[in-house]
A and B are shown apart, each in its own frame.
Chain A
Amino acid sequence: MTDNELIWRIAGGSGDGIDSTSQNFAKALMRSGLHVFTHRHYPSRIRGGHTYVEVRAKDEDVQSRGDGYNFLLALGDSFARNPQDEAYYGKEELKPLYENFDDLREGGVLLYDEGLLDEEDVDEIGLEAAAEENGWHVVPMDLRGIAKEHGREIMRNTAGIGATAAILDIGTEEFEELIKQNMAGDMQEANLDVLQDAYDAASELDIDHGIEVPEGSHDEEQVILSGSNAISYGALDEGCRFISGYPMTPWTDVFTIMSQHLPEFGGISEQVEDEIAAAALALGASHMGVKSMSGSSGGGFALMSEPLGLAEMTETPVVLVEAMRAGPSTGMPTKPEQADLEHVLYTSQGDSARVVFAPANIRECYTQTRSAFRIAYEYQIPAIVIYDQKIQGELRNMPASHFDEEPNADPGSVLTEGEIEEAAHHASGKFKRFLYEPEDGSNVSPRSVPGQKDGRYLATGNEHNEEGHISEDPDNRIAQIERRLNKLDDIRADLDENASHQTYYGPEAADYGVLVWGSQQDTAFEAVDRLNENGHSVKALGVSDMAPYPVEEVSEWLDSVDQALVVEMNATAQFRGLTQKEIGKYGDKLSSLLKYNGNPFEPAEIVDGFESSINGEDLAATNMTYLPTAGD
């Protein structure tokens, strides 16, 4: 547990405004000078069901969700279905209260809306005993009553913010400012009244608790945004002006953001009949010279397998994003997991030739999406950004200057008409689109686009000769498949030179290693700090390049440690398997800490998992599984 931090959790039903309220709360704290990070938990339904968001705030960079939380604002679920039918539903509106007992820290504050949650019912769920045992400060307030007095019941969340501000003594200035920015007229006035009334009412209660909200300041202007924002902005800044998709959680977020902004950026968004069409459209637009993307989550991405293979075979550049959720099949639509790695690496028939990046955090969502576009269009290859529901939905502050970058709309290795005139053509006049040995000595054979004079060629999913015509000649086959696969070596060299996506963390000389990929990287880094504070000698390597795999970097790092624990959110240790397959050794050095219950790791869990593994202790009582080394 870390001192000097606020972890504020707001819990209610889907539709109670939990998400928007938490966003405003986080933004207000950021504006007040703090660093913030949010963690979002929600069910797959439109109304009702228990949902919560945590806002973690400190006076220094926050890179992960915390361990538990110290302030609960339980609004209760105002959309609870059929509360009279106890036999089946029980006290559903109480879920946002009692389902949150587990992680509330000792001495924490529990503020709930007694306007919605009946006092007798609350008694029945054992709040009093739990509060006594944990030293919680329970604060019942009629937030609903305050909301209804000035406006509508939905403003309970504003009342909750006002009460929170009073109890934590953080003032209402930033919240007022946000209400004024986001709302107008009667709505604004009513919310301001609700905020003030709840603040005043809570101030009178004079709750004596030990939570101290830190004070901080920022050296430069900050922004707060999500991984979905950052992926979308990376695409736009890299000149992407076409997206096609079909809704699926959690990918829908990127699709929505792109669709909202593409018209003003002069681009086109297409919502289509299925994911096969979605990927196929992106290829069609790219074939014409437009920088294009599509994406989906697990099941939808499965439908993209065949177009993905077509992109590999025809060397049509495209960027796909895959927002993982817990599988298999429909799985748990709103819960994160890292179990689609093998799916994304290997789906589609034949030897795969693709690029896969797994960004660690929101900043990397921006930079690595830009990398994906640059590589895809320069090397004429599909590039995939794989992320998960965790990064998609979490918010984090960062300097605005991170995005102060020049756009790059270069369509990559496409010839001008003048260059086509000079380029190699078949005697029939067809442009040699797929040269065995491109002139610059690379494996990339430059392309033309329809409309360019004398650039016509055939793109086909069949094996083809230099002009693109179908060929099953063995020598041609070897030349073309090797050239396509050798592009991956060119890309590895390019990445090593221009943009290492790997992150090294902790003391270089450490004995133990934590190897981690994608969205769990920053959480693992916080755990590494604590392990070193606990007297262990640990460092971490966060890997984002899934393909082409950074064999040299990871090998060197693994050489430098005695043992390494691979931390990932799946049940079959997919990244560890990939690492062993790519490097071909270290089987006796790698053990795994796995979590697959639908929730991302907390830093303390990794600390526990690490310490248990080196002490040979059982993890059976936890949410995690330990998988020992396998030997070489």
Chain B
Amino acid sequence: MSTFSAIGDDREIDRDEFTPGIEPQATWCPGCGDFGVLKALKQAMPEVGRNPDEVALFTGIGCSGKLNSYFNSYGFHTIHGRSLPVARAAKLANPEIEVIAAGGDGDGYGIGGNHTIHTARENHDMTYIVFNNEIFGLTKGQTSPTSPKGHKSKTQPHGSAKSPIRPLSQQLNAGATYIARTAAVNPNQAKEIIAEAIEHDGFAHIDFLTQCPTWNKDAKHYVPYTDVQQSDEFDFDVSNRKEAAEMMRKTEERLYEGEVLTGRMYVEEDRPSYGQEKRSIGEMPEDPLAERYFDEDAEWERTYDNLLDHHK
């Protein structure tokens, strides 16, 4: 039994509990893909049996960062690109909390790219949702790391000379153990993938295509889409790294040819999470560190007894 009574509270969860009374109506533009993420996330929570007080949602900056305002849980709306380092320490400090991080493609693949790689590498037991709309939305339509080559915007008047980031391939190389792509227009698949990602014991990366009807009309709402698990055309083993790599490359390339491929791209069940790795070498306490501070009977070591002899 946890020191914190919300944790492990065994009761029926209603998705409406995750709608805050303060700002129940999101202010995203009409038709924005972000609504799809919010809805899928709320729907996934009853499935994974977590209540609002045992969930901590960490976001970055941008339209995606508003997710925290419309999702009722403990929340930390951090700074641009830095949701992951804040979130992963939270998971280490109290592994019993369900930790979810979210941000946009600029946030996760641009300014925070270094953290995305390292968090995947470490395989923290958490879920990361990247709202990928291939554009900077909140700052009014500049080219982003996932914008296609040739993409014209006010900051790239002659079209982007850069090839876009390959987020799925990058995550596979970095070490994420659950990698999927879904789209706002496919709510059932999105809900299932989010629930799977939360249940997954390791770093789960969801590249979530969220259409931006205001600033990225070219992306056309990501329809029609194909679920690669449902399609006969794509017969690959999601647990096979080589086959997954090929599937990801295909998925990334076809997006820019107008074909939207979604589904589970890679799932690795055996690799221990970072918390397990740290515990196994004695670098992390067995019981949640955060709880120790709220346990009145906890005994605290002092340096005078433990460390001073060395200096005498």
Binding site for B on A (CB under 8 A): 221-225, 229, 233, 236-237, 239, 241-242, 244, 261-270, 272-274, 276-278, 280-285, 287-292, 306-307, 309-310, 314, 400, 403-407, 409, 411, 414, 416-417, 426-430, 449-462, 467-470
CA A292 – CA B89 in complex, angstroms? Answer: 10
Q: Does B303 contact A (CB under 8 A)?
A: yes
Given contacts A273-B118, A288-B94, A414-B294, 10 further A-B contacts (CB under 8 A): A222-B312, A262-B283, A285-B289, A307-B79, A310-B82, A405-B304, A407-B301, A414-B293, A451-B2, A458-B75
Most buried by A among B23, B53, B75, B292: B53
- Name 5 interchain pairs, CB-CB below 8 A, sorted by A: A284-B87, A290-B94, A400-B308, A409-B300, A469-B23
Within 111-150 of B, Cβ neighbours of A (below 8 Å) are at: 114-115, 117-118
Beyond A239-B293, A455-B53, whether A287 also contacts B90 by CB under 8 A is yes
Measured between C-beta atoms, what is the minimum distance from A359 to chain B in Å?
17
Measured between C-beta atoms, what is the minimum distance from A433 to chain B in Å?
10
Whether B77 lies near A462 (C-beta < 8 A) is yes
Whether A266 lies near B285 (C-beta < 8 A) is yes
Beyond A277-B118, A285-B92, A454-B53, whether A237 also contacts B290 by CB under 8 A is no
Within 42-89 of B, Cβ neighbours of A (below 8 Å) are at: 52-56, 58, 61, 68-69, 72-79, 82, 85-89
Of A225, A268, A272, which contacts B311 at CB under 8 A?
A225
Of B93, B283, B307, which contacts A269 at CB under 8 A?
B283
Whether B304 lies near A417 (C-beta < 8 A) is no
Beyond A242-B289, A287-B86, A307-B79, whether A268 also contacts B278 by CB under 8 A is yes
CA A621 – CA B78 in complex, angstroms? Answer: 53
Beyond A268-B289, A400-B308, A469-B23, whether A263 also contacts B118 by CB under 8 A is no
Q: Which residues of A contact B300 (CB under 8 A)?
A: 239, 407, 409
> How many chain B residues touch the partner (CB < 8 A)?
65
Of A241, A262, A451, A456, which contacts B7 at CB under 8 A?
A451
Binding site for A on B (CB under 8 A): 2-7, 9, 20-23, 52-56, 58, 61, 68-69, 72-79, 82, 85-90, 92-94, 96-97, 114-115, 117-118, 278, 282-285, 289-290, 292-294, 298, 300-304, 306-308, 311-312
Of A233, A236, A274, A281, which contacts B114 at CB under 8 A?
A274
Closest 3 CB pairs of A and B: A428-B21, A451-B4, A284-B89
Whether B86 lies near A281 (C-beta < 8 A) is yes
Q: Which residues of A contact B69 (CB under 8 A)?
A: 458, 469-470
CA A416 – CA B289 in complex, angstroms? Answer: 17
Q: Which residues of B contact A287 (CB under 8 A)?
A: 76, 86, 90
Q: Which residues of A contact B306 (CB under 8 A)?
A: 261, 264-265
Q: Which residues of A contact B9 (CB under 8 A)?
A: 453
Beyond A450-B97, A469-B22, whether A411 also contacts B74 by CB under 8 A is no
Measured between C-beta atoms, what is the minimum distance from A294 to chain B in Å?
10
CA A310 – CA B85 in complex, angstroms? Answer: 13
Measured between C-beta atoms, what is the minimum distance from B288 to chain A in Å?
8
Of B5, B21, B97, B118, which contacts A426 at CB under 8 A?
B21
CA A400 – CA B307 in complex, angstroms? Answer: 11
Beyond A310-B79, A417-B5, A457-B74, whether A450 also contacts B86 by CB under 8 A is no
Whether B312 lies near A223 (C-beta < 8 A) is yes
CA A258 – CA B185 in complex, angstroms? Answer: 49
Whether A289 lies near B92 (C-beta < 8 A) is no
CA A414 – CA B48 in complex, angstroms? Answer: 29
Whether A452 lies near B53 (C-beta < 8 A) is yes
Whether B22 lies near A290 (C-beta < 8 A) is no
CA A283 – CA B89 in complex, angstroms? Answer: 8
Q: Which residues of B contact A273 (CB under 8 A)?
A: 114-115, 117-118
Whether B89 lies near A282 (C-beta < 8 A) is yes
Whether B90 lies near A285 (C-beta < 8 A) is yes
Q: Which residues of B contact A288 (CB under 8 A)?
A: 56, 89-90, 93-94, 97, 290
Whether B307 lies near A261 (C-beta < 8 A) is yes
Measured between C-beta atoms, what is the minimum distance from B95 to chain A in Å?
10
Whether A242 lies near B93 (C-beta < 8 A) is yes
CA A263 – CA B284 in complex, angstroms? Answer: 7
Whether B308 lies near A403 (C-beta < 8 A) is yes
Whether B94 lies near A272 (C-beta < 8 A) is no
Whether B54 lies near A284 (C-beta < 8 A) is no
Q: Which residues of A contact B118 (CB under 8 A)?
A: 272-273, 277
Whether B89 lies near A285 (C-beta < 8 A) is yes
Measured between C-beta atoms, what is the minimum distance from A440 to chain B in Å?
20
Most buried by A among B5, B115, B283, B303: B303
Whether B75 lies near A459 (C-beta < 8 A) is yes
A281, closest chain B residue (CB): B89
B4, closest chain A residue (CB): A451
Measured between C-beta atoms, what is the minimum distance from B8 to chain A in Å?
10
Q: Which residues of B contact A221 (CB under 8 A)?
A: 312
Measured between C-beta atoms, what is the minimum distance from B297 to chain A in Å?
12
Measured between C-beta atoms, what is the minimum distance from A459 to chain B in Å?
5
CA A94 – CA B117 in complex, angstroms? Answer: 48
A316, closest chain B residue (CB): B76
A406, closest chain B residue (CB): B302
Measured between C-beta atoms, what is the minimum distance from A151 to chain B in Å?
25
Of A224, A284, A306, A469, which contacts B93 at CB under 8 A?
A284
Whether B97 lies near A236 (C-beta < 8 A) is no
Whether A409 lies near B304 (C-beta < 8 A) is no
Beyond A280-B89, A405-B302, whether A266 also contacts B22 by CB under 8 A is no
Q: Which residues of A contact B301 (CB under 8 A)?
A: 236, 264-266, 407
CA A242 – CA B290 in complex, angstroms? Answer: 10
Q: Which residues of B contact A263 (CB under 8 A)?
A: 282-283
CA A278 – CA B3 in complex, angstroms? Answer: 28
Whether B302 lies near A407 (C-beta < 8 A) is yes
Whether B79 lies near A461 (C-beta < 8 A) is yes
Q: Which residues of B contact A292 (CB under 8 A)?
A: 89, 93
B76, closest chain A residue (CB): A459
CA A310 – CA B290 in complex, angstroms? Answer: 21
CA A11 – CA B192 in complex, angstroms? Answer: 67
Q: Which residues of B contact A261 (CB under 8 A)?
A: 306-307
Whether B311 lies near A461 (C-beta < 8 A) is no
Q: Which residues of A contact B302 (CB under 8 A)?
A: 236-237, 405-407
Whether B85 lies near A268 (C-beta < 8 A) is no
Whether A289 lies near B294 (C-beta < 8 A) is yes
Whether B94 lies near A289 (C-beta < 8 A) is yes
Whether B311 lies near A290 (C-beta < 8 A) is no
CA A408 – CA B163 in complex, angstroms? Answer: 54
Whether B312 lies near A400 (C-beta < 8 A) is yes
Of A229, A284, A290, A414, which contacts B85 at CB under 8 A?
A284
Beyond A430-B21, A456-B53, A467-B22, whether A404 also contacts B79 by CB under 8 A is no
CA A455 – CA B54 in complex, angstroms? Answer: 10
Measured between C-beta atoms, what is the minimum distance from B209 to chain A in Å?
26
Q: Which residues of B contact A406 (CB under 8 A)?
A: 302
Q: Which residues of B contact A272 (CB under 8 A)?
A: 85, 118
Whether B307 lies near A233 (C-beta < 8 A) is yes
Whether A268 lies near B284 (C-beta < 8 A) is yes
Whether A409 lies near B293 (C-beta < 8 A) is yes
CA A291 – CA B298 in complex, angstroms? Answer: 15
CA A469 – CA B55 in complex, angstroms? Answer: 17
Q: Which residues of B contact A429 (CB under 8 A)?
A: 21, 72
CA A281 – CA B53 in complex, angstroms? Answer: 21
Beyond A223-B312, A239-B293, A284-B85, whether A451 also contacts B53 by CB under 8 A is yes
Whether A290 lies near B293 (C-beta < 8 A) is yes
Q: Which residues of A contact B58 (CB under 8 A)?
A: 284
Q: Which residues of A contact B115 (CB under 8 A)?
A: 273, 276-277
Whether A451 lies near B54 (C-beta < 8 A) is yes
Q: Which residues of A contact B96 (CB under 8 A)?
A: 451
Measured between C-beta atoms, what is the minimum distance from A26 to chain B in Å?
11
